[in-house]
Amino acid sequence: MSEWSHLANAKYIDRIIAHAKANPTAWAAWRVAYDAAYEAAYEAAWVAAQLDSMATARDAAWVAAWRVAQDAARGATRGAPWDALLALVAWDYAGDLMDLPAEQVKILAILGDQAAILMYSAIEAMETTQELV
């Protein structure tokens, strides 16, 4: 049982970690641009995780999940797995984005959905290897 198994998106966190282990080159191909929208989404996710009534438990789960993902993606771009894990911890609905095609998530990101901004690269990487199709 993982340290994040109590989170609503635990199964999605596990899927991202497993995919990063199995397909490091897919993750390396989808670098996240650090523009204003990304920075705003990252900050909002961090604040959301901190303000949650279970912030301490969420923080511990997030750190534990990231350590596993970091080991899994060693040598690959770590931006996309980190961003996706952050969104999955901060927003329970972020897991629902993984059921959408990458193009729809991209549209949501363009429209300013903060979880979509952070999830897009992960969904794109997983879709290119047929993981989400």
CA distance 24 to 4: 22
Q: Where are the domains of the chain?
A: 10-128
Find, among 91, 104, 9, the residue nearest to 51 by Cα.
Answer: 91
pTM of the model: 0.62
- Alpha-carbon torsion 100, 47, 84, 57, what sign? negative
Which pLDDT band holds residue 100 (cuts at 50, 70, 90)?
A: very high
Model confidence pLDDT, tens digit, residues 20-71: 888 877 776 554 433 445 555 666 666 666 665 556 666 666 666 655 555 5
